[in-house]
Structure 1
Amino acid sequence: MLTRKYLFPGVIELNLQAARPLGVNIYLIDGGTEYALIDIGQDDTLGEVIDLVRGMDFPLSKCKLIIATHADADHVQALAAARVRFKTKAAAHPKAAAALESGDTVQTYASIPAQGFDIPMPPCKIDVLLNDGDEIKVGKVKLTVWSTPGHTPGQLSFKMGNLLFSGDNIYKDACVGVIDAHHGSSIPEYLKSLNRILADDAEYLLPSHGPVFRKDAKILKAAIDRLTGYQYMADFGTCAQSWPLQEAYEKDVLAGKMPEL
């Protein structure tokens, strides 16, 4: 049997357990009599994930739930296959469930034609719809569901004691999950989610990419300040709220004012 590498009591992160990158952080929540998985990754790593779980002496039949933080393919391409292999239920926010059940390759980033990227996105039945304030009981452990949209409309986070599984909301370097119109990103919603995380008493943030870290107001404020500016930048197209430069220029055009050169 593999020695279980607990990151925190009741929490094993499978990249750390495997001592190799699996593409996305996958958290096993050990409730004693049963367990749950937060995200599952892609098809090409599912076999290794299953071997790790079995190797740590967690029977597949004791998996209560596989939870999608959101519908991005790097997090959940293997969800349909894993649901069958573990004989368990899949859970997601209703807005993520729509893309997952239809196998939408655009919203899930499974297909990015302009970059020549295209992978399958098998449709997956979502058995449990998760909304803000719901509680997930896994044996002796309880997770409280947070709806934290911004990166995607269906992004979820999960509070467990002094831990917050924060998805793609914020990383240790103050970066955030991609902001993209095809993704359904919303900068104002992102700011609400980041401010909620900032105001919470969670001591540690467990993101979907990169290292777990102690919550630091400086990191969150750096992201909040940056995204606040993004709302008024052409760089973010329809995800921006306005473009002051263009608005001012249009007023000058209507007034018959020539540019100052």
Structure 2
Amino acid sequence: MSKETEYPPHAVRLAEGFYAVAGDKLTHPWDASAYLFTGDEPVLVDCGSAEGYPALKRNLASLGVRPQDIRAVYATHGHWDHLSGFARLRAESGAKLYVHELDRRQVETGDPERTGAFLYGRPFPPAAADGLLREGDALPAGRYRLEVIHTPGHTPGSVSFLFDAAPGPVLIAGDALWGGYHPKVGSDLDDWQASLDKLLARRFELMTFGHLPPTLAYDAHAKVGEARRQLGTYMNPWFKPFHERFRY
């Protein structure tokens, strides 16, 4: 089976009431992962890009969820591939957006550099935040409560989420794990190292992150430890925008 068809284009159940609904294998090649928590008031963690929004709607529909059913989007951070689809979702649903204060301005202004939109050659539709995510917050998410962990490094306002599920404690790391590094998008290596150390001080058994296929990774704590050891060992100044092609 080819890489392009390795995963079927639909929602993927990760745990009871917890689904992967967006990502490069589910909605659009440029999309980051997004997750749905079902229940009386469904919520999303991230929502993917504007390019992938039609496929996100399709995947939600496969679970019997309409855009107008979504009550909130909790943003791991304010980047194009994670959040540029929100303006379209809000227009259909009235969903509320929650983001960390340190990424709020770029989301509300659509800053092309801080949102990483320049990497895709697309605009970031500005979106007003309805609330702010803070360290230690406990957010309702269907049958679960998500603990907010501030994990700056990829961006100043990056957050991760931790919750207890039947398979074991689950970490949604966002781009705190294996995210791209560039000063234009607000990356800071010292902050990133401290954030990974913070995560390693917590207990979790499974994880998913911003650019993982739609699955939960086991032996998660050891994998975060490996990422911590690798951080900063290789920086590529030739990283090219996704919408451009090189001739060689």
Q: Which residue of 2 aligns with 1:140?
A: 143
Give, in whole Å, the separation in 1 of the partners of 2:32 and 2:74.
14
Q: Which residue of 2 aligns with 1:254?
A: none
Q: Which residue of 2 aligns with 1:214?
A: 218
Instruction: Specify which of 76, 82, 89 is matched with residue 82 of structure 1.
Output: 89
Q: Partner of 2:52: helix, strand, or coil? A: helix
Q: Which residue of 2 aligns with 1:73?
A: 80
Q: Is the 8 A contact 1:72 1:109 kept in 2?
A: yes
Give, in whole Å, the separation in 2 of the partners of 1:82 and 1:21.
15
Q: Does 1:14 align with 2:14?
A: no
Q: Deviations over 1:47-95 (max 9, x none)?
A: 1211221232123333120121111111111111212212210111011
Give, in whole Å, the separation in 2 of the partners of 1:15 and 1:181.
27
Q: Deviations over 1:128-180 (max 9, x none)?
A: 1111111111343211111100111011111111111110112xxxxx21121
Give, in whole Å, the separation in 2 of the partners of 1:6 and 1:92.
25
Give, in whole Å, the separation in 1 of the partners of 2:25 and 2:203.
30
Distance 1:225-1:6 versus aligned 2 partners, 3 A rule: closer
AA aligned to 2:54 is: G
RMSD: 2.5
TM-score by length of structure 2 reads: 0.80
Give, in whole Å, the separation in 2 of the partners of 1:35 and 1:213.
24
Q: Is the 8 A contact 2:22 2:47 kept in 1?
A: no
Distance 1:222-1:194 versus aligned 2 partners, 3 A rule: same
Q: Partner of 1:44: helix, strand, or coil? A: coil
Q: Which residue of 2 aligns with 1:227?
A: 231
Higher mean C-alpha deviation, range 19-28 or range 177-186? 19-28
Higher Cα Rg: structure 1 or 2? 1
Q: Does 1:29 align with 2:37?
A: yes
Q: Is the 8 A contact 2:78 2:115 kept in 1?
A: yes
Q: Which residue of 2 aligns with 1:56?
A: 63
Structure 2 unaligned residues grouped into runs of 5+: 1-9, 238-248
Q: Which residue of 2 aligns with 1:239?
A: none
AA aligned to 2:58 is: D
Structure 1 unaligned residues grouped into runs of 5+: 171-175, 237-261
Distance 1:81-1:20 versus aligned 2 partners, 3 A rule: closer
Report how far residue 34 of structure 1 moved: 1.6
Q: Which residue of 2 aligns with 1:256?
A: none
Q: Partner of 1:90: helix, strand, or coil? A: strand
Distance 1:21-1:57 versus aligned 2 partners, 3 A rule: closer
Give, in whole Å, the separation in 2 of the partners of 1:137 and 1:13.
18
Distance 1:181-1:19 versus aligned 2 partners, 3 A rule: closer
Q: Partner of 2:97: helix, strand, or coil? A: strand
* Pairs aligned (count): 221
AA aligned to 2:199 is: I
TM-score by length of structure 1 reads: 0.77
Percent identity between the two aligned chains: 27
